[in-house]
Chain A
Amino acid sequence: EIVLTQSPATLSLSPGERATLSCRASQSVSSSYLAWYQQKPGQAPRLLIYGASSRATGIPDRFSGSGSGTDFTLTISRLEPEDFAVYYCQQCGYSPFTFGPGTTVDIK
């Protein structure tokens, strides 16, 4: 099983600042199979990034993904008020299709 670790657990930032979230895998993950989601309280998750760096439909270009092998990054270039949420990475290549524990981006 591929275990995903996300850091930091919580990121406290102000609107307009840049957010950098990390996702590390216990073994190599093909870039084609790494995704990022955003979840707000009481809502279902929303797909942001697939294939490590491709934005899903309707996702603003302030969200970008990068990385390869075991280290992946989600960057939000300038935080908007609606971006404060929990972010999860997921590996999609092999069952079990595990999620990371999440990073909470909250308002400083």
Chain B
Amino acid sequence: EVQLVESGGGLVQPGRSLRLSCAASGFTFNSYAMSWVRQAPGRGLEWVSTIGASGGITYYADSVKGRFTISRDNSQNTLYLQMNSLRAEDTAVYFCAKAFRGWAPFDYWGQGTLVTVSS
């Protein structure tokens, strides 16, 4: 059974940093691209970032480019999102998601972890 479990969310002040993790199991992690998608309270889905299976290729939404870094540790079956210079508008539930094929769509999702950016 495929499982994706996010962790690392919480309350953080504007301008500070946070690192999210996503522990994957039940599939060959190093064979699939992985992504982060966020959802602000009461809002729709926003794609954030995608990383290729080997970690060599990454993509970012303009809204996070230069502030967020996606990475993965294929030996630990874990996906990461390093978030720096956080802003109030980054407040959201962050989901990790597995690519069905290629870069997208996403066939498995974690339960999400809430990041709240507030002073």
Residues of A within 8 A of B (CB): 1, 33, 35, 37, 39, 44-47, 50, 56-57, 86, 88, 90, 92, 95-102
In whole Å, how far is A23's beta carbon from the nearest beta carbon of chain B? 13
In whole Å, how far is B35's beta carbon from the nearest beta carbon of chain A? 7
Could you count the A-B residue pairs with CB atoms below 8 Å apart for me: how many are there? 63
| Interface pairs A-B: 9 shortest CB-CB | A92-B104, A35-B105, A44-B109, A95-B59, A99-B45, A97-B47, A102-B44, A97-B104, A47-B107
Residues of B within 8 A of A (CB): 35, 37, 44-47, 50, 59, 61-62, 95, 100-107, 109-112
Chain B residue contacts of A102, Cβ below 8 A: 44-45
Chain A residue contacts of B107, Cβ below 8 A: 47, 50, 56-57
A35-B104, A88-B44 known; 13 new pairs, CB 8 Å cut-off, are A35-B105, A45-B106, A50-B105, A56-B100, A57-B107, A88-B45, A90-B104, A92-B104, A92-B105, A97-B59, A99-B37, A99-B46, A100-B44
By the criterion CB–CB under 8 Å, are A96 and B45 in contact?
A: no
By the criterion CB–CB under 8 Å, are B100 and A97 in contact?
A: no
Q: Which residue of A lies closest to B93 (CB)?
A: A44
Given the complex of chains A and B, what is the CA–CA distance between A56 and B101 in angstroms?
A: 12
By the criterion CB–CB under 8 Å, are A97 and B45 in contact?
A: no
By the criterion CB–CB under 8 Å, are A90 and B105 in contact?
A: yes
Given the complex of chains A and B, what is the CA–CA distance between A99 and B111 in angstroms?
A: 19
By the criterion CB–CB under 8 Å, are B44 and A101 in contact?
A: yes
In whole Å, how far is A38's beta carbon from the nearest beta carbon of chain B? 12
By the criterion CB–CB under 8 Å, are A44 and B103 in contact?
A: no
In whole Å, how far is B75's beta carbon from the nearest beta carbon of chain A? 26
By the criterion CB–CB under 8 Å, are A44 and B110 in contact?
A: yes
In whole Å, how far is B108's beta carbon from the nearest beta carbon of chain A? 8
By the criterion CB–CB under 8 Å, are A99 and B103 in contact?
A: no
Chain A residue contacts of B35, Cβ below 8 A: 97
Chain A residue contacts of B103, Cβ below 8 A: 92, 95, 97
